[in-house]
Amino acid sequence: MDSRAEPQLPDPEPSTVRLSDPGEIAAAIPYLLGFRPEESVVLISLTGAGGRVGLTVRADIPPPADARALAGALARSICTDGPSGVVLAVVSEATDELSRGPARPVGDQRRDNVDLPHRGLIHELTMAVAAAGIPVRDALLVRAGRWWSYDCPHRCCRPGAGTPLPGSVTELEVASVSSGTVVARDRDELEARIAPPGGLAWAATNDAVLRTAGERVTRAEECGWEVVADETMATIVEAVAACRPGAGATRPADDVLARVLWGLRNTRVRDQALGLSLGPEPLAVEALWSECTRRAPSPLDAAPATLLAVSVWLRGDGAMANVALDRALDSDPDYALAQLLRAALASYLGPAELRAMIAASLAGDDDALPAR
């Protein structure tokens, strides 16, 4: 079970979408995370006077004995966003539990001694957030297409009731699609998007990679590595153009992909390629890095996986950024740029700050990014 807090960062230039009631917030959780969570606890930061949605943090529901420790860790994480309030949510298909509270008055229409599940976890989260001086605006249970508020005393929030999630297309869903976010079924689906293809396709790419290694050395002996780097960058730009969303988008041929992968081993090429994520075609850039990561053999997948993490992070997709960085560091644990980005994501560096870091590096600040 994954107990690591998984951040989802807001886009630096978001569309203004207002979530006016708890049901809309409950329905928005998959779009805030980028996938549909299961058996998860989610904290949503509300910032500013208007309660703008900020950082969203997710973790697996812990065993009861670990609830207090996890609540403290999640509270510390959400506090990095400077929230004016927090919404707590538990996404779980757990059945109702026996109540530990006092006996209810005669005539109370709630089923005797039955309560919503995971109330103990909500209590620990509330205490941890309150200890940081942040008010809890609401605490929600999302289950079986319905939502409950743990604090609601009315009939709609009794254990056997609940309110259906909004069924119509929401503003946030429209905004997510327009920004390029495709909500995955679960985190495994995110991992599957960049999983190696296997079979003959995998073998063909490996053959191209091995063949290109020798060609690259021969070309460098003839013209020098600077020329090879320039040619590689031109290949990357052409590959990005071919990956533009639409009917004409094509996957890079094996020989093209191999040239890109070997080129990204050069720090200058990699950093120039990093700058493409700041350009006018971020979705095409993301598509190229996704395809390179999916088809690259280890350890050549570390560079495109790291670049993919940057691309998705810049549009606020922290979950996919984590998946891409996992791939990079599993392949090459010492890859310095991936290590740097992992630390930055863990400290909740926002997309705007990441954009500034990349821009500083491209402007010649040698300390903005590591050499490898």
200-210 pLDDT, tens digit per residue, is 888 888 899 99
The boundaries of the domain holding residue 109 are 6-183
Q: 201 and 135, same structural domain? A: no
Q: Does residue 79 contact residue 135 with C-beta atoms inside 8 Å? A: no
Q: Does residue 231 contact residue 266 with C-beta atoms inside 8 Å? A: no
How much is the mean pLDDT over the chain? Answer: 84
Residue 215 has pLDDT above 60, yes or no: yes
Angle between the N-to-C axes of helices 199-223 and 254-263, in degrees from 0 to 180, rounded to the nearest 10: 60
Model confidence over 72-83: pLDDT tens digits? 999 988 888 888
- CA distance linking residue 131 with residue 21, whole number of Å: 26
Q: Report the length, in residues, of the chain.
A: 372
pTM of structure: 0.71
What the block records as the tokens of 338 is 């991936």
- The residue that leads in pLDDT, 198 or 91, is 91
Mean pLDDT score, 192-221: 89
- CA distance linking residue 243 with residue 182, whole number of Å: 17
Q: Would you state the pLDDT for residue 132?
A: 92
E strands present in 71-204: 85-91, 97-98, 114-115, 136-143, 146-149, 163-164
Q: 84 and 16, same structural domain? A: yes
CA distance to 271, 287, 327, per residue, from 260 (Å) = 13, 14, 18
Q: 63 and 136, same structural domain? A: yes
Domain's final residue, options 183, 217, 249: 183
Q: Could you give the 3-state DSSP secondary structure of residue 135?
A: coil
Q: 197 and 179, same structural domain? A: no
Q: 162 and 208, same structural domain? A: no
Q: Would you state the pLDDT for residue 173?
A: 58
